[in-house]
């Protein structure tokens, strides 16, 4: 199948390559030419614009940073809807505000284009090996139609409800991940200051109730002081902003999320915004004066 793919960053590039590996044709576009060139080298065709992608493909996937980017790429001049045809399908795999997904879907439906929101979790490693978790909102019939395509990129694809439900689920995921990294960083800061080897603490507790996927993924990075981004601090700030905004809109109160947001904002202003969100540990290292290693 010929599939359009717009947005070839840390996550989008390996996802597009996995579609190629599965035998699909990919027509790719990104504002960064180097990213396009990399995917073209893997077998994709390059497009001139988002509208050009839509003209050439009945199914288009977007993987973009935030709500305004998706709105521009879909609804803007020379955007997807400028080139789309009635009956086309848009799968937005960006992590954006649920309300924005609903607005964009309304614009798509007015053009006769079907849309689902399908954000992902798992970071760059799982995007590379094709095992990301995909959470989907929209028309169930459209989900069923594209399920096999989603599974070329993911280890699971779960239908969560109406349009926006995928992004609501992703926000819940991002709240849990952020709070978990903060909890791990705080606990290991305690053990470090108390003079207990953090590697031994990790070995002792990872198999118990405190163990988690987050701990297993992030503690080795923290112990090595390796903050190469799999998921950047600045992107997590974006997600928690969307979570807090959505919470205000629906009457859900997120005091722990707000506290971790302050830590992330501090890291951003200290110059760590482009590092992995495991850099939450840096905040604790700064306030305690002891590195977790």
Cα–Cα dist 194/187, whole Å? 11
Cα–Cα dist 133/136, whole Å? 10
SS3 194: coil
Q: What angle do CA 78, 82, 87 make, to 5 degrees?
A: 145
Residue 155: CB atoms within 10 A of its CB come to: 13
Measure CA of the first residue to CA of the last residue in the chain; give whole Å.
48
Look at the block and give the residue holding tokens 């080897």. Answer: 197
Residue 14: CB atoms within 10 A of its CB come to: 22
Where does residue 82 rank: exposed (0-12), middle (13-18), buried (19+ CB within 10 A)?
Answer: middle
Select from 211, 212, 221 the least CA-distant residue to 282: 221
Which residues are known to be catalytic? 170
Cα–Cα dist 97/67, whole Å? 6
Cα–Cα dist 134/137, whole Å? 10
Give per-residue burial for 204-218: e unless 16+ CB within 10 Å, then b. ebeeeeeebebbebb
Residue 61: CB atoms within 10 A of its CB come to: 27
DSSP code, position 277:
G
Cα distances (angstroms) measured from residue 206 to each of 73, 125, 193: 43, 21, 20
């Amino acid at each position: 199948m010929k599939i359009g793919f717009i947005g070839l960053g840390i996550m989008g590039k390996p996802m597009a390559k996995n579609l190629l590996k599965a035998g699909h044709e990919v027509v790719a576009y990104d504002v960064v030419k180097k990213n396009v060139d990399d995917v073209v080298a893997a077998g994709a065709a390059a497009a001139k614009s988002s509208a050009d992608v839509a003209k050439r493909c009945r199914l288009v996937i977007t993987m973009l940073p935030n709500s305004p980017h998706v709105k521009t790429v879909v609804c803007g001049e020379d955007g997807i809807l400028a080139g789309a045809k009635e009956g086309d399908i848009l799968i937005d795999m960006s992590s954006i505000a649920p309300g924005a997904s609903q607005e964009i879907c309304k614009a798509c439906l007015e053009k006769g284009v079907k849309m689902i929101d399908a954000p992902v979790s798992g970071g760059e490693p799982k995007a590379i090996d094709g095992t990301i978790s995909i959470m989907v909102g929209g028309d169930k019939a459209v989900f069923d139609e594209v399920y096999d395509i989603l599974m070329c990129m993911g280890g699971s694809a779960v239908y969560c409800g109406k349009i926006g439900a995928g992004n609501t689920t992703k926000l819940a995921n991002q709240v849990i991940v952020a709070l978990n990294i903060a909890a791990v960083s705080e606990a290991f800061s305690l053990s470090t200051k108390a003079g207990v080897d953090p590697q031994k603490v990790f070995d002792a507790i990872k198999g118990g109730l405190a163990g988690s996927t987050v701990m297993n993924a992030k503690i080795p990075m923290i112990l090595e002081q390796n903050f190469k981004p799999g998921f950047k601090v600045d992107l997590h700030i974006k997600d928690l902003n969307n979570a807090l905004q959505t919470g205000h809109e629906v009457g859900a109160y997120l005091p722990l999320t707000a506290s971790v947001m302050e830590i992330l904002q501090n890291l951003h202003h200290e110059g760590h915004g482009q590092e992995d969100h495991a850099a939450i540990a840096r905040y604790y290292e700064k306030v305690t004066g002891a590195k977790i290693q």
